[in-house]
Structure 1
Amino acid sequence: MSKNFSRREFIAGAGILLAGSALRLRGAAVPAAEQIIDIHQHISYMGRSDADLMFHQRALGVTRTIMLPSGTPVKRPSTHDGKSNGLQAKAGGNEACYQLAQQYPKELLFGANEVPDLPGAKAEIEKYLKLGAVVIGELKFGVDCDSKEMQAIYELAQAYNVPVLMHWQFNMYNYGFDRFYKMLEKYPKVIFVGHAQTWWANVDKKYTDQQGLYPKGKITPGGITDRLLSDYPNVYADLSAGSGLNSITRDEEHAQAFLNKHQNKLMYGSDCLDTTGQVKDCSGAGTLAEVRKLVTDKTALHKILYKNAQQVFRL
């Protein structure tokens, strides 16, 4: 065993046992007693090892992590002829997430997923729901959000009382964002968790160029995403990845008001392939630092970091 690996394992193990001290990210202390539920991570993310994944999560101070699997690797339009296999990130599938969660039952939870228009998709997802999956997703496929295949997944989520987590990316994943409200109204008992570029770009009322996935500058409240969170009780949001981080750093004045306004609907996620947990390298660490900076009320902060997730995923 290399010295580097031993050091990581020592630090990771020590992180679990800390009771009165804190792990430190650059610019942000992580109190050991503070819970953090990370609702969005992946196994084998761009080749990252399981050891590096666990080190990263512990370095962030995450107490529980939900592993989101990919679907079966296939070449068909819904996977862009295979380009989107592994969630376009070499992410592991259902069985890999399930097995790793068995190794770390106190730290890891798992989701269930499948290519929606693949024959047997419902049976594959249901298999892992019966094994204890707490979410369906990450749904990241080239299909219409209101297609019969996606509606079959929403019906399954309703039957098992689990949320669905959707990656919104214009002209790439989950087509028809402007029609999505119809699904919210048709399936009011299903909790939908929004994520990714198109979701977060649309917090801005003046956002019109749907091709621009990481817009910059001041935000005008009242965009589609803002309205969905306000108007539909079954809509929640996942702050993960560069898109979530961009949405709260591009206009901190807006972000502070937005985080306060939707404190009951927002959940922390990392969705990063980093291995260190350092703010300068890691969007997950950056999001944690930014949320702590902008959300000064402890009650609201705890909702975003873990209480909303406890409710949504019934933990």
Structure 2
Amino acid sequence: MPDFPLIDSHQHVFWNGRDDYGLVADLDEHRIEKAWLLTWDEPKSEATGTYMQRMDPRHKLNGSVETMIPLHNIIDVARRFPDRFIAGYCPHPMDPHAVDKLQAAVDIHGVQVCGEWKFTMMFDDPRCLEIYRYAGTRNLPVVLHLDVAYLPPNGGAFVGHGQWKGGGIDTLIRALEACPDTNFIGHAPGFWREMAADADNYPEQYLKPPMKIGGRLPDVFDTYPNLYADLSAGSALKTLMADPENAYAFLTRFEDRLLFARDYYGGELIAFLDSLNLPDSTWRKIGRENAEKLIANTAPPNSAPLRKLGL
């Protein structure tokens, strides 16, 4: 366990069996000072797999369209626990008022993060680029979920992936080039699979041993200084655990661009990072300093940040 309080830069509320009080208890248990609370504005009608078993069944918008994790949940909880949460929001890019809604969320509610971008469309869709560019003008980092639409041939079949979001790494690269003044934080299986040396032919959603870290992702980090990544969920942890020796080299090489994050509960990531015996300066950057840096200039000029609006 590090000797400083952590910041969890990728978290949600009212899902996976816990309410807001359960989430705060988990933060306390693992000495996490604050968490970024992110929306997921995709309609529940587009849910696949077992997602609906893990989502709050209460919310509806306009009496009909249900979204996975709505903004009002984030705002309510951030106001209830003003010292524990940073509010994030990413409107659905297909909404013609998406940019206006993001602006209103910043100005009215003190939102400091654009996220989570998690939609069944290409990441570099022109409607998405408009959101990213506006986020850049307000210094909001964009937290993104990337998962490929198809997995490579497995047993002779070209396997479609029903939970795809954003497409492949090429869509992210085009967005990085189109929005150089916006910081992006990569996440999810489609992002981390690019640590495999032969990602285009890797047949599984998640990387697993035996596997050597390499691939295209380090080169993308080197080429685009506006790319960051969070270490949340099984996608990042499984990638790092598949090759601990090279994981150490990757974490120290990009210590200024990586963020501690979980997207769930528990201390598995903390235990793994501790086991690597990272330099203290690296642990601090990943554990909290990079998250603080990315939102240091996001407080909206015409409204009070959420942390000052405790109820």
TM-score range relative to shorter protein? 0.7 to 0.9
Of 153, 166, 171, the residue aligned with 1:174 is: 166
How far is the alpha carbon of 1:221 from its aligned partner? 4.5
Runs of 4+ in 1 over 3 A off after TM superposition: 72-75, 86-89, 218-222
Matched residue SS, 2:32: coil
* Equivalent pair of 1:259/1:295 in contact (CA under 8 Å): no
* Equivalent pair of 1:238/1:267 in contact (CA under 8 Å): yes
One-letter identity of the residue aligned with 1:137: G
1:241 maps to 2:233: yes
Taking only the aligned residue pairs, the percentage that are identical comes to 27
Gap regions ≥5 residues in structure 2: 56-67, 150-163, 298-311
Post-superposition CA distance 1:228-256 (Å, at most 9, x none): 12221100001000111101111111111
Matched with 1:286 is 268
The equivalences for 1:39-188 within 5 A come to 39-71=9-41, 73=43, 75=45, 80=46, 82-83=47-48, 89-90=54-55, 91-130=68-107, 131-171=109-149, 172-188=164-180
How far is the alpha carbon of 1:209 from its aligned partner? 2.9
Matched residue SS, 1:63: strand
Matched with 1:271 is 263
One-letter identity of the residue aligned with 1:296: L
For 1:87 and 1:147, locate their aligned partners in 2 and report how far apart those are by CA, in whole Å. 27
Larger mean CA deviation between 125-134 and 156-165 belongs to 125-134
Post-superposition CA distance 1:39-78 (Å, at most 9, x none): 0110111342111111011111101111001216364xxx
For 1:196 and 1:287, locate their aligned partners in 2 and report how far apart those are by CA, in whole Å. 15
For 1:139 and 1:98, locate their aligned partners in 2 and report how far apart those are by CA, in whole Å. 18
* Equivalent pair of 1:169/1:196 in contact (CA under 8 Å): yes
Do the aligned partners of residues 146 and 210 (structure 1) sit closer, same or farther apart at CA in structure 2, a change above 3 Å counting?
farther
Matched with 1:301 is 283
For 1:69 and 1:308, locate their aligned partners in 2 and report how far apart those are by CA, in whole Å. 21
Post-superposition CA distance 1:199-245 (Å, at most 9, x none): 11211222233551112124444422221122211000010001111
One-letter identity of the residue aligned with 2:18: R
Question: Which structure has more RCO (C-alpha within 8 Å, separation ≥ 6)?
Answer: 2
Matched residue SS, 1:124: helix
* Equivalent pair of 1:39/1:65 in contact (CA under 8 Å): yes
* Equivalent pair of 2:42/2:119 in contact (CA under 8 Å): no
Instruction: Report the TM-score, using the length of structure 2 for normalisation.
Output: 0.81
Matched with 2:219 is 227
Matched with 2:153 is none
Post-superposition CA distance 1:256-292 (Å, at most 9, x none): 11111111111000111x4xx3xxxxxxx11111112
For 1:250 and 1:133, locate their aligned partners in 2 and report how far apart those are by CA, in whole Å. 36
For 2:97 and 2:83, locate their aligned partners in 1 and report how far apart those are by CA, in whole Å. 31
Do the aligned partners of residues 211 and 44 (structure 1) sit closer, same or farther apart at CA in structure 2, a change above 3 Å counting?
farther
For 2:188 and 2:277, locate their aligned partners in 1 and report how far apart those are by CA, in whole Å. 21
For 1:288 and 1:245, locate their aligned partners in 2 and report how far apart those are by CA, in whole Å. 10
Kindly report the root-mean-square deviation, in angstroms, between the aligned alpha carbons of the 2 structures.
Answer: 2.2
* Equivalent pair of 1:198/1:210 in contact (CA under 8 Å): no
* Equivalent pair of 2:146/2:168 in contact (CA under 8 Å): no
Gap regions ≥5 residues in structure 1: 1-28, 278-284
